[in-house]
Amino acid sequence: MLTQAKKEFIEFMMGADVLRFGEFKTKSGRLSPYFVNTGNYRTGAQIAALGKFYAASIREACGENFTAMFGPAYKGIPLVTAAASALSTLYGIDKPYFFNRKEAKDHGEGGSLVGYQPKDGDNIIIIEDVITAGTAVRETVPVLRAAADVQVTGMFISVDRCEIGREGFKTAVMEVKEEFGIDVHAIITVRDIREYLSERGMDPALLASMDRYMEQYCRF
């Protein structure tokens, strides 16, 4: 259901040039009529607003029932920072956060993780931008489990593209749940985007392109 909050988030992303329409090659190699690039957030006001959207999603889904938040390098770093700040400011939920370096540091404190250092038994949630074929989460979970004997129970993203994963018949979200036991929580889905475009009376050619792409790659 396309709620007012979802409409506001879609408009926020479009206003920041984060949600774009055209033809884009995704990480999974598919040609998509839309693309979400959180790297286009570039002002303090934008990142503060984004943190509020994530914080609301986290609070609704799990409240305070987690140990720490992890943001995968690189796009996950500002996302997890903004979410942690908004959770504390808006809801009084003050949780540690951390992120990884692409390459381990061999001097100073060393290691590949920055911020909170996970411990055995921790319950970690991941803060990411989108999930398409599940490639990124398969790279992230080994990083966390190599650091400590942690549980990764939740993943929070801006957009669930609802696309089939590696096996070709289940969505990436379904595969992530089955493979890792991680519940994925999205602020919006591709279906919300399609419904919003229809309500706004957008270009029929764009709507047709969205429909073709969703029919070929998406499952609901």
Q: Which of 6, 27, 52, 107 is catalytic?
A: 107
Distance CA 121, CA 154 (A): 15
Question: In angstroms, rounded to a whole number, what is the distance separating the alpha carbons of residues 220 and 209?
Answer: 18
Q: Residues 25, 27, 105, 119: which is the catalytic one?
A: 105
Find, among 161, 131, 186, 192, the residue nearest to 7 by Cα.
192
Structure-token pair, residue 130: 């989108």
- Does the annotation count 7 as an active-site position? no
- Distant-in-sequence, close-in-space partners of 11: CB < 8 Å, separation ≥ 6: none
Please state, in angstroms and rounded to a whole number, the distance separating the CA atoms of residues 172 and 174: 5
Buried b vs exposed e over 169-188: b needs ≥16 C-beta within 10 Å?
ebbbbbbbeeebebebbbbb
Active site residue 105: yes
d(CA 140, CA 113): 12
Q: Which two tokens stand for residue 181?
A: 């036991």
Residues with catalytic function: 105, 107
